[in-house]
Structure 1
Amino acid sequence: MVEDDRKAAGLLARGLCEEGFRVDTVHSAEDAEQRNFHTEYGLIILDWRLPGKEGLAFCAELRNRQIGTPVLMLTARDALTDRVRGLNTGADDYLTKPFAFEELLARVRALLRRAEPARPALLAVGDLVLDPRSRRITRGGRQLSLTPKEYAILELLLRRAGEVVSRTQLAEQIWRTGLIALDNLIDVHISNLRRKVDPPGVPPLIRTVRGCGFSLAANGDGSP
């Protein structure tokens, strides 16, 4: 989600997370440009009016870079010419402010369904496989049973396989809050997840990067 109104972005992100989505929020097109839209995201919710570079210009740049991630454009502009301009620039759908959250949710789901065939069906590192559609996880062919928070953490680590995911990112994206008072809770969930994903006798995948966070990779040493 690229939305400069931090309060509105927080409310929308919280509502979408409660519906089972993982949402990353940035507040400018310049910050959004640092994201990997080729593999990491299924949908971009983009505000037209942003500080600096406008959402419309950012959308045009995405399409010029051959990034086909669906874009839902949010704007207070309700003139027909503006809607046509937004769609012609590369937006897949257009929602005029103010709007009901239920309508946003319906449009998000519709765009994701439309794009689903082009999205990778499975997330995998080594013999660890997660199916986002069925939420089924296996390691070496053996099905794992995870709590909702463990599943969310593992999905995030898999989507960013090979990268370091910081404790702050876990706090913000899994719990939708800051790191304060969550540090020990994160350790507990990582420890429980590691016991299920990396039992004795199999190569460990989850690695703790001291002072930085956690990563998941086939050559992880699993050191606590």
Structure 2
Amino acid sequence: MNEKILLVDDEKGLLDMLQTLLKKEGLTNVDFATKGHEALTLSDKETYSVIVLDVMMPDMDGFELCRRLREKTFVPIIFLTARTTDLDKLMGLGIGGDDYITKPFNPLEVVARIKAQLRRHHLYKDSTQIKHESFDFGFFQLNKTSGQLIVRGKEVECPAREFELLTFLCEHPNHIFSIQQLYERIWGQSSIGDEKTVTIHISRLRRKIEPNPKKPQFLINIRGLGYKFVPLVQREK
């Protein structure tokens, strides 16, 4: 396997143990970081397939590290931490984590979850190798080149931000994005105090593309985590 993995934790013994187990599974391309800033530096230089990180580190909270990583990559992130409350788990998943494992843990389970994320990441990369310029979801169609949104065979006016938001979600089907991630990706700045902006744009899009906006089928809200786009039908374009 050529997948590259980044392990971020201030416990060197834990890093050594995980590296040994990963090697036995054929995953030999592993980098380490014991501090958050060190992990950010490595992520700027390398392309990783999975990142495993602790929450409690000496220089940077793991949640903050995850937020900063999400500004530049959608690689799977697995939290491996002693923070065990439901609030911590929701926080970790809500800001962009893909899995949350609490200490103490079964090392073999950690390796199994890393491999599961690698499989999903590999399948996702294969499915998005060809970037579509248009999408056909049966009930509505989106054409990036012409900037058109067609619903039930008729063109619907769609302002730039709404179009960009819908395009981004269509390009990342079944992926949960927090409100902060969506705001920073589409509006290009911090979302502090601007959560309603995303909610309002999602509401407007629902009124345009959903058969029944009160019971959305495409733009789904995952309570406490964010939004995801579910492609009920996608025809080849």
Q: TM-score, normalised by structure 2?
A: 0.48
In the alignment, the residues of structure 2 paired with residue 32 and residue 41 of structure 1 have an alpha-carbon distance, to the nearest angstrom, of: 11
- Give yes or no for contact 1:2–1:46 (8 Å, CA) kept in 2: yes
Q: 1:113 aligns with which of 119, 126, 140?
A: 119
Distance 2:117 2:90 in 1: 18
2:39 is matched with 32
1:49 matched to 2:56: yes
Change in Cα spacing, 1:100 to 1:37, as seen in structure 2 (3 Å) is farther
Q: Retained in 1: the 8 A contact 2:67–2:95?
A: yes
Q: 1:7 to 1:109 in 2, by over 3 A?
A: same
| Number of residue equivalences | 120
The separation in 1 between residues aligned to 2:45 and 2:112, in whole angstroms, is: 24
User: Given that residues 47 and 75 in structure 1 are in contact (C-alpha distance below 8 angstroms), is that contact kept between their aligned partners in structure 2?
Assistant: yes
Map 1:55-134 onto structure 2 (within 5 A): 55-63=62-70, 65-119=71-125
- Match 1:14 to one of 15, 20, 28: 20
Shift of 1:39: 5.8
Q: Is the 1:13–1:25 contact (alpha carbons within 8 Å) kept by the matching residues of 2? A: no
> Within 2, Cα distance between the matches of 1:89 and 1:37?
20
Distance, in Å, in 2 between the alignment partners of 1:66 and 1:27 is 20
1:100 and 1:28, CA in 2 relative to 1: closer, same or farther beyond 3 A?
Answer: same
SS in 1 for 2:32: coil
- Secondary structure at the aligned position of 1:94 is classed as strand
The 3-state SS of whatever aligns with 1:44 is: strand
CA deviation digits over 1:55-74, x for unaligned, max 9? 110001111x2310110001
For residue 44 of structure 1, report the CA deviation from its aligned partner.
0.2
Q: Name the % identity.
A: 34
Mapping for residues 107-186 of structure 1, pairs under 5 Å:
107-119=113-125
Please tell me the residue identity of whatever aligns with 1:25.
Answer: F
> Judging changes above 3 Å, is the alpha-carbon distance between structure 1 residues 117 and 78 closer, same or farther for their aligned structure 2 residues?
same
CA gap 1:91/1:59 in 2 versus in 1, 3 angstroms: same
Aligned partner of residue 108 in structure 1, secondary structure:
helix
**Letter paired with 2:55:** W
- Note if contact 1:37-1:69 (Cα within 8 Å) is conserved in structure 2: no
Amino acid in the other structure paired with 1:58: L
RMSD: 2.0
Q: 1:109 to 1:33 in 2, by over 3 A?
A: same
Contact 2:77 2:97 in 1 (8 A): yes
Structure ranking higher on relative contact order (CA contacts 8 Å, 6+ apart): 2
